[in-house]
Chains A and B, each alone.
Chain A
Amino acid sequence: MMDVRSFAVIATVVFGIGVYGALARRHAIAVIIAIELMLNAAVLNFVSFSRLAAPGSAVSGQVFAVFIITVAAAEAIVALALVLALHRALKTARLDRFNMLKW
């Protein structure tokens, strides 16, 4: 039960849930949450599959995971700042209201 496959299945399911959330949710912050889920599923995959690498290079997967966590944090900060700026301009954080470029 503890082989790489079962971890990968969990990561896949979380990724799928994240895809659903990112597409279906209406509130910008909810979409950010869903994107965080997807990024974390990727981190889990990197950690799990690094176990299959040659003994000396198993660390590479975890290094990648560190980078993803860092980039995800930076992404969350910038995205939240954007949501705040949009909220200040348009008084809403609902994505379907951000339609000024449509016409």
Chain B
Amino acid sequence: MPADIAFAMLGVMTIGGALVAVGAGNLYRAVLGLMLCLVGMAGLFLLQRADFLAVAQVLIYVGGVAVLIVFAVILTEREGEPLAAAVNPRMVPAALILGAGLTAVLVSVLWRSTPAESPVADVTARTLAEALLNRYLVPFEAVSLLLLAALVGALLIAKEKES
């Protein structure tokens, strides 16, 4: 029962945060909405006993990506161009139809499925680490290479050219 209450609250938090993230005219508020949504997601992971993922999610997204996005907003903000004109009016109908339609189709499919017996997987940080460093070692190393490449590439792209 307490888990159900927590689930309802986290669901509202996640969806509400997502709505703020795409609806807010002010980009700072959009980032706040994104953070709210991501923390709600982390709570949903926790409810499914994915402790490590929940914590990693908050650590990476809220502590890292959200801050980066705020920095980018500061650096690209300009006086003459109010952020409030945030939505491209010609795209709105198409985007609404696509987003809402996709959601409706997927949800209706989900709703017709038979609810399966869903045990809560017991995945601790230890089993996750063992899987990452044995069975999934090659993808793991590939992802670290990707991170390094992204780091160097981002530096190269964003660096001011020395005249």
Q: A29-B76, A33-B69 are in contact. List 7 more A-B contacts (CB 8 A).
A: A2-B7, A10-B14, A17-B19, A24-B92, A25-B22, A43-B53, A84-B76
Most buried by B among A12, A18, A20: A20
The CA of A36 and the CA of B96, in the complex, are separated in Å by 18
Distance of A25 from chain B, by nearest CB (Å): 6
Size of interface on A: residues with Cβ below 8 Å to B: 77
A45-72 residues at the B interface, CB under 8 angstroms: 47-48, 50-53, 55, 58-63, 65-67, 69-72
Asked whether B9 is an interface residue with its Cβ less than 8 Å from the other chain, the reply is no
The CA of A19 and the CA of B101, in the complex, are separated in Å by 10
Size of interface on B: residues with Cβ below 8 Å to A: 86
Other-chain contact of A44, B45, B147, B155 (Cβ < 8 Å):
B45
**Do the beta carbons of A44 and B75 come within 8 Å of each other?**
no
Most buried by B among A25, A36, A53, A91: A25
For B112-141 the 0/1 string (1 means CB < 8 A from A) is 010110111111000110011000100100
Interface of A (DSSP majority class): helix
**Do the beta carbons of B128 and A66 come within 8 Å of each other?**
yes
CB neighbours (8 Å) of B65 from chain A are 36, 72-73, 76
The CA of A5 and the CA of B108, in the complex, are separated in Å by 11
Q: Which A residues have a C-beta under 8 Å from some C-beta of B?
A: 1-10, 12-30, 32-34, 36-37, 40, 43-44, 47-48, 50-53, 55, 58-63, 65-67, 69-78, 80-85, 87-88, 91-96
Most buried by B among A60, A62, A83: A62
